[in-house]
A and B are shown apart, each in its own frame.
Chain A
């Protein structure tokens, strides 16, 4: 009969065997496929016919892509969308969490209602918000119904009828500032500013994910002990002051995790934009994920599509890898 030690040793090896299929699948489907995508992005494969010869110079596809006005617009849109969306979602989610951070009748109803959109798909969200921001109906009807437009006309002004996602305008452009900073700054082919058409998309994304932010904060608020609040009250701090100076700073780790998760959503956003506005006028709402999709599945520019996907991956890694390392380190 084997000793307990031998049995334990055998068990450990059996336990390892359980992991083998998952590790193997991950090695192929995650790491292998990423490597393959990267390889494709260095080749001449830009038609339906597979051509795996390397480009000369090897980085040429990346250089071509960075010079494309469309891809420049995609990078701009990602930055603008990320900032708008994260700011809106965190502000609204935190605000709602603070309101719900007390006992009262109807609390769980409101909490469930605010989180509800999170259960829906981005496609459903995009399909419906597309109509709400349709210039010929939706929100714009309110400007007539509420008499706002009649009032404006009476004052001799133009009625309000924003084009929303169909508006090609880019506001707060910083191109002149860039050109003044360094000579290369004048050579951009796109306007560096805020594409107005992206604002409705950020609002729709906020609608879907601010409830999630609220749930994260409510979890954090529940873990703050009553003694902390009591201490602040004894020190004479009002409710608002207690939140601002004591509780919100204590929630910083939650704010960081939440922001990273939202950042990760916004860097790869695809379905929502695809269903709501598509690439938009002058690529005003185009994003890298749509660029990748079109290059790979309609234009057959495979090297360009994979190059853009590698840029997306690199951007995600810049955010996620430090976060994962930090999480694992702090646990040990």
Chain B
């Protein structure tokens, strides 16, 4: 590429970068100001002296909710990935008459606005005594994650040659044995993609968190951050630091495992 051409390209991309970096800049620099120097008029200015006060206060307020989020997201992501792997295996390697229709009916669950199931869900969770609890949220996320995890694994397993499964069957391996001995060892990349996809989705969820768990002590971090932001008694530097804290887990996953992240979002984007 010619020099002038490249500089022009960098210039345009640099302008775009300002747009994308702006909110991150606002979050970080204002989070690092102390309560006395954070003001509306100086939003764009760098802190005169760095202060960890905002982060310390945000962490004190949000760490219980951070813990709730972790207790929710880890089992939910693991369980829904495992269920997706089993379903994807059957839908790709044990097709039967009508299996495509069943798959489409399952996939439909990924596309509904969850508002349309919200009230019955809440009543149901109250009925089985899981309303207001993290296990209730785990159940919710696993159930509504079935469709997308099944989709990702099905698309992955379709590229595994059928002959491998047939060979195992001829050797006398049962359905589950073939899954455990043949498919699972091949599935590591699909598990990585699905786990990241589900971790991000579930961590970032707001609707289920706020409706299934009304008690602020038990709520996931996204709801706690929103409460923090709406509270007039909390300083602005604390809110910005809180936003960084709430964003950190998924941001770190993205920065560390970006390639798998992109694969997940492309599979989640349904190339059914």
Contact = CB atoms under 8 A, between A and B. Distances in A.
B167 interface: no
Contact of A18 (B17, B175, B236, B265): B175
Interface in A295-332: 296-297, 302, 305-306, 308-310, 312-313, 316, 320, 324, 327-328, 331-332
A196 to B, nearest CB: 20
A16 to B, nearest CB: 7
Contacts of A320: 108, 111
B169 A8 contact: yes
B23 A119 contact: no
A270 B207 contact: yes
Nearest to B268: A261
B35 interface: no
Contacts of A138: 43
B1 interface: yes
Interface in B129-152: 143-144, 146-147, 150
A123 B226 contact: yes
Contacts, number: 259
Given A16-B90, A99-B9, A121-B247, A114 B115 contact: no
Contact of B23 (A22, A128, A275): A128
Given A16-B96, A119-B200, A25 B146 contact: yes
B63 to A, nearest CB: 17
B64 interface: no
A274 B115 contact: no
Interface residues of B, number: 93
Contacts of B262: 115, 215
Majority SS at the chain A contact face: helix
B188 interface: no
A137 B40 contact: yes
B270 interface: yes
15 contacts: A11-B94, A11-B174, A18-B89, A22-B83, A22-B150, A23-B102, A25-B143, A36-B120, A99-B9, A114-B17, A215-B266, A219-B266, A293-B207, A296-B118, A320-B108
Given A7-B172, A328-B100, 19 more contacts: A14-B174, A15-B93, A18-B86, A18-B90, A18-B176, A29-B117, A30-B112, A99-B13, A113-B20, A114-B16, A118-B265, A119-B247, A129-B23, A137-B41, A207-B20, A274-B206, A274-B226, A289-B113, A309-B118
Interface of B: 1, 6, 9-10, 12-13, 16-17, 19-24, 26-27, 40-41, 43-44, 83, 86-87, 89-91, 93-94, 96, 100, 102, 104-109, 111-121, 124, 143-144, 146-147, 150, 169-170, 172, 174-176, 200, 203-207, 210-211, 222-223, 225-226, 229, 236, 239-240, 243, 246-247, 250-251, 253-255, 258, 261-262, 265-266, 269-272
